[in-house]
Amino acid sequence: MPLEKVRPANRTNPWKFSRPADLSILLFLIFGATLLAQDLPTPQSVPEAPNLLRLEGVDPETHVHYIRLLLSQPTSTDSAKTPPRLTFECLEKDGKPDFKWYVSFGGITDYRFLPPFHPTPGVPYHLSETDVDLKMSFVEGSSQWKPYVRSWTLLSTGELRYRNPGWHSPNLESLSLFMSILKSYHGLQISYAKPAKGDPEAVLFHTEPLLRELKKNAICEQ
């Protein structure tokens, strides 16, 4: 009889927080000084897509070639707050590709590439991460695909990253499934699965320009 993958039960973790706001002080103490000391890379605007930016580079420590495509919600010119953003990230190292999704609900100015963890004298061990359940709904006009509630990880930048399947993740679906849905349902709405007071509202991204740009980059083939 084949074994079924069982979602791991929640365990008490003294470093696990229920909401991103709970981590703000801790993340600043750990990462703040480093981030402030570095200059943000400059993304390139994508022609014919005013709300889409492209960031490409090679991480000097891990030698990962990355392309980040950042789709922002349209915002008024007088708004001082950074708008919500959906990011598709394509990676390649030693000829092996990888693909990741990120989302922010607004107010996040740091869009840098975060390389895979590697021990350093200051941080010898991988810190426990905070997981957040988000609901993804795929829409096209008046039609809607069934929603998915899946686990995402809160990062030091404030972004949330979809947890790709693996022994460390309760998610069973790879992003290739959701990419296939996006080919027919171009609207992607993301919200907190169980919103609490103070959590941001759902955001809707129209992904057509993002999907078109993906096709132009060899390491982003889906």
pLDDT tens readout for residues 120-174 = 777 777 667 789 999 999 999 889 999 999 999 999 889 999 999 998 899 999 9
For residues 95-102, give the mean pLDDT: 93
pLDDT at 47: 64
The answer to the question of residue 13 being in a domain is no
10 Å CB burial of residue 31 (0-12, 13-18, 19+) is middle
Alpha-carbon distance of 149 to 172, in angstroms, equals: 11
Question: Rounded to an integer, what is the distance from CA 144 to the centroid of its chain?
Answer: 22
| Number of independent structural domains in the chain | 1
Q: Is the confidence at residue 26, as pLDDT, over 60?
A: no
Which three-class secondary structure state does DSSP give residue 179? helix
Q: Is the confidence at residue 200, as pLDDT, over 70?
A: yes
pLDDT at 2: 47
* Residue 207, number of CB atoms within 10 A of its CB: 21
For residues 53-59, give the mean pLDDT: 91
CATH code for position 143: 2.60.40
The answer to the question of residue 2 being in a domain is no
The answer to the question of residue 38 being in a domain is no
Query: Is residue 158 within 8 Å of 216, Cβ to Cβ?
Result: no
Domain that holds residue 183: 43-74+82-108+129-220
Alpha-carbon distance of 134 to 51, in angstroms, equals: 23
Higher pLDDT, 153 or 6: 153
**E strand segments, 59-129:** 65-72, 85-93, 96-104
